Structure 1
Amino acid sequence: MVDDTELPTDDAQPSDEGGGQRVLTRLLEDEMRESFIDYSMSVIVQRALPDVRDGLKPVHRRILYAMSELSLTPGRPYKKSATVVGDVLGKYHPHGDSAVYDSMVRMVQDFSLRYPLVDGQGNFGSIDGDSAAAYRYTEARLTRLATELLEDIDKETVRFVPNFDGQKEEPTVLPAKVPNLLINGSSGIAVGMATNIPPHNLREVVDACIALIDDPELSQEELEAIVKGPDFPTGGLVCGRQGVVDAYRTGRGRVVMRARTHIEEHERGERIIVTELPFMVNKARLVEQIAQLVRDKKLDSIRDLRDESDRDGMRIVIELKRDAVPYVVLNRLFKHTQMQSTFGTILLALVDGVPRVLTLRQILKYFLDHRHEVVVRRTEYDLGKAKDREHILEGLKIAVDNIDEVIKIIRASRDSDSASTTLQERFGLSERQAKAILDMRLARLTGLEMEKLEAELAEIRATIAELESILASHEKRMGIIADELRAMADQHGNERRTEIAGSVGDFNMEDLIPDDDMVITVSRQGYIKRQSVDTYRAQRRGGRGLRGMTTKDEDWIEHIFSASAHDTLMIFTRQGQCYWLKVWQIPEGSRQSRGRPIVNLVSMARDEELAAVVPVREFSEDQYLLFATRMGKIKKTALAAYGNIRSVGLNAINIREGDRLIDVKIIEPESQILLATRKGMAIRFPESDARPMGRATEGVRGINLRGDDYVIGLVTTREDANLLVVTELGMGKRTEVDAYRLQGRGGYGVINVKVTERTGEVVAIKAVTDEEQLMVITRKGVVNRQAVSEIRTIGRATQGVRLINLDKGDLVMDVARVVVEDEDDELLEGAEGVEGLDGEDGAEPVASVEGGADEGAEGAEGVDEE
């Protein structure tokens, strides 16, 4: 009671005012502080936090103990959950029935506990978030593992305290033959603190306990090598060990969990199959979350979504559109849904009634200390019982040895009390021994029974000696603990469900993707796609070709080049910006599909135009990028200057007004640079003429231009290569590089090709060899693949030969090279003039697209300027 008439500053003083009532005057804040502290400690100790010894909160401990008292053990019939709930409420847990039943339900669910402690019959909920049926409908009994937690509880192994009304007693902790705190984990929110302990694999934890018994000085690193990490009941993956290591060493850490998935091929395309989810993720809610992202257009590559889970296991099917890249979609699912979630580990538990944040070593040590105490108390209890039995047997043996006199005393006694007193006085027996003799049946006097008596006495004495040796030896006690733990692992252990994988930062999606050779095509309007090189079959020079892309009338193929799936594409725009994209991230399309807009794959502005794409494996200090602009400027910059990949891109070269970037290549030392113009001029000079420059520069003059001429192509070559020149009307020729006079940078150059009405202007130049094949692509999307060796090597100032027959109004737009690995001459015969819609008209050569760091997009400007 608070008296508001005075506010003393000293400690509260009792008063007798108020008609004999005792009034306690004190400050309101003092009363609130003490009351709140009392309440907080009650919540911490009696409700929210588990004990480090048995890993149980009071409600779980009371449920298990009440079920044991009801004899609901394995092999016995189930009983209604209402019976258990009523027993727990009436005897031990004075709280609401929903709190007890919800706790019991969780101990049944195999997706909540790694090793369930209650065997349920009926509806106990599901991973979809369905609630359990009411306790009047369900039934339960203990699992075998739960009986191991309760074993020897009747041997005074743990301390008992009065229950809430003092009518019964309950255990303060269970004997716990297994480290339940780690194998099943725990979670709870107290006042000002919380615990969140993940479940672990029983075999790993037992192995760690045994290792710690064998070597108490075992290092933390050695313990972590045994206990690899959490083992969640729902499986899944743990990404990285850093969060696990932090938790084991400091008691706190963040563990990243991911769903287990795989990719399946299907007649309608590829699909992602989810078979395991992160711990505590609601499956139905996850499916709805993915569906909502599809409706919101945040995941536009998903065609269909359905849950095919059944009694055999989980199976969520995510069907993808044909042009989708499965691993890109999977990454977005991890980013935007609960297919990737975080488990915030807090190893907080009660140690001697006090909450403490513990390390892995401390948890194992406290469990072993508890088991040691249990073994000692159990041994002392068994020893006491054994000594009591020995005492009785010794009295019986005395009686048997003096049976005639004993009978005579008994017959002469007036009653049993006087007989007991006489026997005690005559043979020096205790009261208990005398009573046992008086209670002994006459059948014990047969010869066989007398032998059994002596054998039992010898056995009990051996037992006593063994028990005393256990109490005398710490090493023996720890050996018993280790043996019992091994038995638990053998009987209840199973294989790990959760895989410990690389960290999210270290997780390399490329490792899951074959490093295949690809052909990448890009249209003028910025549509990009990738296809396997096997899509295109070899054809003779002059053949009609295969259709490589379906384009609109106002769009056409502008670039075609080769690269490996693991290459990084450096995408350069005519405005001088650079962006990055992995080849495998480009959607794979059919030969007739347009592909996807590049602006949807990188952060290009919509008004930026593509100039060049360079496939790169590594951003090396020893390699250089060579830039060429439309107005004849060149720039050489170290490749490493572009290794700082940014999602928004960066400025690769300074471009003056009226100029624009036309091509970028990786240049090798001691090679030559050759620039070709639209009007048929070309210049060749050593790469050493182009000194290295910084990234944010505009370069130096590479070729001097006349009139309205402009640069259309850049080639970096050695002296032993041939130069391929292709014109817009399908003419082409090979010319030896030596035919181009080596001169200084900045000159007008020499004639490259004789430009006439029959040839049209130059669209592309390439450095080629006889072992390669040529892929020509036209404005209307027709692709022709032919052997380079079929193209004649002729003089420099000539028109060339016909490479491809063009439809009216069609023009050649670009050229790429293919290197043949296993050439068969028969493949190149009989293909002339044949139009193929697929690769089935004749055999395909085994070929791979050349994609080293020295090759990129040998693109041409051209028709768009007419």
Structure 2
Amino acid sequence: MTRAKNPPAEEPIVERIEDVDVATEMQGSFLEYAYSVIYSRALPDARDGLKPVQRRILFGMNEMGLRPDRGHVKSSRVVGEVMGKYHPHGDTAIYDTLVRMAQAFTLRVPLVDGHGNFGSLDDGPAASRYTEARLTAAAIAMNDGLDEDVVDFVPNYDNQFMQPAVLPAAYPNLLVNGASGIAVGMATNMAPHNLIEVVAAARHLIAHPDATLDDLMEFVPAPDLPSGGTIVGLAGIRDAYATGRGSFKTRAKVSIESITARKTGLVVTELPYLVGPEKVIEKIKDGVNSKKISGISDVTDLTDRMNGLRLVIGIKTGFSPDAVLEQLYRLTPLEDSFNINNVALVNGGPQTLGLRELLQVYVEHRISVVTRRSQYRLARRQERLHLVEGLLIAILDIDEVIQVIRSSDDTAAARTRLMEVFDLSLVQTDYILELQLRRLTKFSRIELEAERDKLRAEIHELETLLASRHRIEALVSDELAEIAEKYGTPRRTLLTDARPIATGAAAKRAAAILELADVPCRVFLSVTGRIARVDLAATENGAPTITVPTRRSKHDAILSTLETSTRSEIGAVTNLGRLIRFTPVDVPMLPPTSVQLGAGVRIGDYLSLPNRDEKVLAIVSLDSDRSIALGTKQGVVKRVATGAYPNKPEFEVIGLKAGDEVVGAVQGDEGDELVFVASDAQLLHFPAANVRPQGCPAGGMAGVKLTAGAHAIHFTSLPADRLEQTVVVTIAASNETLLGVDTGSAKVSEFSEFPGKGRATGGVRAQRFLKGEDALHLAWVGPSPALAVGADGTARQLPDSGAKRDASGQPLEAHVAAIGTRIE
């Protein structure tokens, strides 16, 4: 049994404690951290407009060969490549930057071509494993020339790879795409600009080094935002271009459109920079709920990938769309501010730069790039010319060259003897020794001589270029022009000097005029179903008036007229016995001097009638003390009691029996005369006082006694004081012919020719049928003169008035679809 050796004694630990001033240590550490954030993370370089992570992504993708003419690769692969070789930070920061460079709503000229869900203004992107990416053509232009020693390369974080300190940047990327970032004690926020405008300003600065800011702003008047919109006011922009700091306001592009025939809305197609539709909708809803915003009925987001942004804001009836829009500009992100703070790295340090300084830094960078590129190309061509000249010497005396090589003991001896015999350099000699025999043809000699001449010409051109800064500047300018032509797009953001939005007390005063004024108006409904209004202006004696057209036009035969005001509630009575409430404020307005109902809107579209067979027969006032008289196809009459209307958007004013419908509706007084005309040419009129007013659900009472097979085709109410000016128009035809084929015969008689009868009687004959006629197809009773129209609204000629009540009609030249009265 052996004993274990004694373990060696442990060496004593020597403590080393140094006293350090905490304030000094904190100051030094903070400055190192601040410099790292400023230089290596947050601020862009003024030359290529890129932060280090952006530059490393573009360089890494370029090294991976992710060009526009090749397929996309997984974004996670790009993130891993960049993180492993160049950017020693988290993958989240790299992917977020990659996504931003692919978003067309963020950059004016995107640098990454993304495939997949790269997010929107309201939603984030999909994970990197679900998306794919490659470089855009504009990004290739940013990398163009890296293989020609145009910029300095620096080691990566672990000294294993080299990366560019700055990209060649074929266009002013910092101005074109802008930048944003927060460093320690400073921040940058730069707006995007239009590539064509920025290039034009840079070229002007190259040609005129003493150009002033006003000269440059002739080319770059303001930023050009990817989302478009409108810039309001330019004073803050000039301050930013002069000092590097300023602000401006952007507004959404909004148009006032008819959403439906009855409803007006604000349609938003462009939003301020980096403002999403969901943010706007949320602010509008908050404002409506808190009673700060009024006049809005609903907000609908119709945005899609095919048609782009479309945000529809419905306006309540009676509110001015312009006033509501002004309110939205003041209280929602439809108007937003952008604060410019042009801070970028110049020679490794942060500086605040104006427009001229930004352009100057970029121009100097491009001059340096073009100069180094030309020097590189000159050196390569000189090297190649040196080899070609040596090869030509060898070919001219190839037999002796071969003899020297064969008689030499080894390669070193052959190299030395060739240099001595033919006065060649070491590089030329090595090239000749590696020469392939197939190059020793006559054709190869001709090719070499042509190459020599070409190289000499290119060398001369490059030397001439490098000898003149003016030529280099001209080349830089020409290359910029090519870039602008290739990648430039028209300006998207409009510029305006619109007045600022009112705030404070002015804003409160503005809120009071959101609703439209309640002015007197006259609403017209044509027999062809078109509705329009005329706002009435007061004359010197206070009576409202309009100008009656001297010549007839389409659709000008009137079925119903109502004197009201723009904000009063009125009703439309249909043939199905319904009354639909609406206000005429949204009805198309016609000038009082040219009332042509063809410019109106179809009332069926305006009221959005669900049933195509439902027709509006009259427009009535709901505030009047006059009752609504209705007559139905089955001869029922009813007067609706005033004040009995339900407080509903639409309701029934008569309880119709199966198969029945309303043929006429008129608002009148108890002293009026009610008139029925039946298809068997019988006319009955009796006092309205004989019909007791009833509530809306009631079904009415017997109005006219109809013979077998007959039905009422017309009903109206006539004021007692206008019976002398009233005419009766009847048109007879055959039931066996198609509608519109047989024009029929018409008769116009004075209403005084027809004696009154009691309610629920058969009346008197209104027209004698000619041979082949068996029914009245159309009848109308109203003030003279009567106006007849065709199905398309064009005027038709009627016979002269004065025929006996039971006389036969006169043949018509064209089919008559409806009859009405003239505009008064």
Q: TM-score under structure 1 normalisation?
A: 0.59
Spell out, residue by residue over 1:707-763, the C-alpha distance to the aligned partner (whole angstroms, 9 max, x if none). xxxxxxxxxxxxxxxxxxxxxxxxxxxxxxxxxxxxxxxxxxxxxxxxxxxxxxxxx
Whichever residue aligns with residue 437 of structure 2, its letter is L
**SS of the residue aligned with 1:90?**
helix
Name the residue aligned to 1:195.
188
Q: 1:288: how far off? A: 2.1
1:485 aligns with 2:480: yes
Q: What code does the residue aligned with 1:368 have?
A: V
Alignment of 1:666-685 (within 5 A): none
Q: What is the distance in 2 between the residues matched to 1:209 and 1:550? A: 58
Once the 2 structures are TM-superposed, how far is the Cα of residue 289 of structure 1 from its aligned partner? 1.9
SS of match in other structure, 1:262: strand
Number of the residue aligned with 1:238? 231
Q: Are the counterparts in 1 of residues 329 and 501 from structure 2 also a CA contact under 8 Å?
A: no
1:843 corresponds to which residue?
823
Choose from 385, 400, 406 the match for 1:411.
406
CA 593–323 in structure 1, closer or farther in 2 if over 3 Å, else same: farther
Say if 2:125 is the partner of 1:108: no
The structural deviation recorded for 1:534 is: 7.8
Match of 1:494 in 2: 489
* 2:563 equivalent to 1:546: yes
Q: Is the 8 A contact 2:518 2:566 kept in 1?
A: no
Q: For residue 186 of structure 2, what is the amino acid of its counterpart?
A: M
User: Distance between the aligned counterparts of 2:374 and 2:81, measured in 1?
Assistant: 31
Local SS of the residue matching 1:196: strand
- Show the counterpart of 1:213: 206
Once the two structures are superposed, residues 383-437 of structure 1 have per-residue CA deviations (whole angstroms, 9 ceiling, x without a partner) of: 1111110110111011011111001111212332221111111111111101111
Label 1:592 to 1:257 Cα distance change in 2 as closer, same or farther (>3 A). Answer: farther
1:547/1:468 Cα in 2 relative to 1: closer, same or farther (>3 Å)? closer
Instruction: Tell me the residue number matched to 2:439.
Output: 444
Deviation at 1:531, TM superposition (A): 7.0
Matched ranges for 1:67-78 at <5 A: 67-78=61-72
1:427 and 2:429 correspond = no
Deviations 1:478-521 (A, max 9, x none): 01100110010010000000111114439999xxxxxxx99846
Q: Residues of 1 paired with 2:216 and 2:622: CA distance?
A: 56
SS at match of 1:25: coil
| Contact map agreement 1:272 1:317 (CA 8 A) in 2 | yes
Partner of 2:50: 56
Give yes or no for the alignment of 1:307 onto 2:277: no
Structure 2 residue 267 is matched with structure 1 residue 273: yes
Q: Which amino acid aligns with 2:205?
A: L
- The 2-side partners of 1:254 and 1:591 are apart by 55
Match of 2:380 in 1: 385
User: Residues 142 and 592 (structure 1 numbering): CA distance in 2 closer, same or farther, change over 3 Å?
Assistant: farther
Q: Which residue does the alignment assign to 1:133? A: 126
Counterparts of 2:534 and 2:359 in 1: how far apart (Å)?
56
- The alignment status of 1:533 with 2:550, answered yes or no, reads no
Aligned length: 533
Cα distance in structure 1, aligned partners of 2:42 and 2:146: 24
Report the CA distance shift for 1:392/1:22 in structure 2 as closer, same or farther (over 3 A): farther
Q: Which amino acid aligns with 1:190?
A: A
Distance 1:71 1:295 in 2: 54
Structure 1 residues 551 and 251 mapped into 2: Cα distance closer, same or farther (>3 Å)? closer
* Aligned counterpart in structure 2 of residue 150 of structure 1, from 136, 143, 146: 143
Alignment of structure 1 residues 597-608 onto 2, 5 Å:
none
Corresponding residue SS for 1:318: strand
- CA–CA distance in 1 between the matches of 2:85 and 2:312? 49
What residue identity is the alignment partner of 2:341? I
For 1:188, the aligned partner's letter is G
Q: By how many angstroms is 1:843 displaced?
A: 2.9
Cα gap change, 1:490 to 1:381, in 2 (>3 Å): same
Partner of residue 324 from structure 2, selected from 318, 329, 338: 329
The two structures, once aligned, show a CA RMSD in angstroms of 3.0
Please list, as runs of the form range in 1=range in 2, the aligned pairs for 1:9-88 lying within 5 A after superposition: 23-88=17-82
Contact 1:550/1:592 (CA < 8 Å) preserved in 2? Answer: no
- State the partner residue of 1:289: 283
Indicate if the aligned counterparts of 1:531 and 1:591 stay in contact, CA closer than 8 A.
no
- Look up the SS of the partner of 2:204 in the other structure: helix
Deviations 1:520-546 (A, max 9, x none): 469xxxxxxx97238965599xxx993
Q: Which residues of 2 match residues 302-701 of structure 1 at below 5 A?
A: 302-311=296-305, 312-505=307-500, 520=519, 532-533=535-536, 546-548=563-565
Give the aligned residue type for 1:222.
Answer: D
- AA in 1 matched with 2:42: A
Q: Which of 182, 185, 189 is 2:178 aligned to?
A: 185
CA contact (8 A) 2:520 2:536 kept: no
Q: 1:669: which partner in 2?
A: none
C-alpha distance after superposition, 1:601-657 (max 9, x if no partner): xxxxxxxxxxxxxxxxxxxxxxxxxxxxxxxxxxxxxxxxxxxxxxxxxxxxxxxxx
Cα displacement (A) at 1:444? 1.9
Query: Structure 1's 323 and 211: CA in aligned 2 closer, same or farther, altered over 3 A?
Result: same
What is the letter of the counterpart of residue 226 of structure 2? P
Instruction: Tell me what 1:264 maps to.
Output: 257
Partner of 1:247: 240
Tell me how far 1:548 sits from its aligned partner. Answer: 4.3
* C-alpha distance in structure 2 between counterparts of 1:387 and 1:549, whole Å: 87
Question: Would you say the 8 A contact 1:260–1:274 is kept in 2?
Answer: yes
Preserved contact between residue 233 and residue 497 of structure 1 (Cα < 8 Å): yes
User: Can you give the 5+ residue segments of structure 2 that lack an aligned partner in the other structure?
Assistant: 1-11, 508-515, 522-532, 539-543, 549-560, 570-588, 591-618, 624-782, 786-819
Shift of 1:72: 0.6
- Between the aligned partners of 2:63 and 2:622, the Cα distance in structure 1 is 72
1:520–1:531 contact (8 Å) kept in structure 2: no
Q: Work out the CA distance in 2 between the residues paired with 1:591 and 1:264.
A: 28
1:103 positional shift: 0.4
- Of the three residues 85, 91, 96, the one matched with 1:91 is 85
Sequence identity (%): 44
1:228 maps to 2:258: no
CA contact (8 A) 2:99 2:118 kept: yes
Once residues 501 and 209 of structure 2 are traced to their aligned partners in structure 1, the CA distance between those partners, rounded to angstroms, is 34
- Native 8 Å contact 1:182 1:199 kept in 2: yes
Contact 2:518-2:565 within 8 A present in 1 as well:
no
SS in 2 for 1:279: coil
Equivalent residue letter for 1:546: E
Q: Residue 112 and residue 413 in structure 1: after superposition, are their counterparts in 2 closer, same or farther (change >3 A)?
A: same
Partner residue of 1:723?
none
Give the superposition deviation at 1:173: 0.5
> What letter matches 2:346 in structure 1?
V
Whichever residue aligns with residue 478 of structure 2, its letter is: D
Aligned 8 A contact 2:300 2:312 in 1: yes
Alpha-carbon contact 1:549-1:592 (below 8 Å) kept: no
Corresponding letter in the other structure for 2:284: I
SS at match of 2:319: coil
Q: Does 1:170 align with 2:163?
A: yes
Q: 1:474 to 1:548 in 2, by over 3 A?
A: closer
Contact 1:241 1:503 in 2 (8 A): no
CA distance in 2 between counterparts of 1:830 and 1:372 reads 88
Q: Deviations over 1:268-309 (max 9, x none)?
A: 221100000000112212112212322333323111210111
Q: What TM-score, normalized to structure 2?
A: 0.62
Residue 735 of structure 1 is matched in structure 2 by none
Query: Structure 1 pair 548/377, CA: closer, same or farther in 2 (3 Å)?
Result: closer
**Residues 362, 22 of structure 1: alpha-carbon distance in 2 compared, 3 angstrom cutoff:** farther
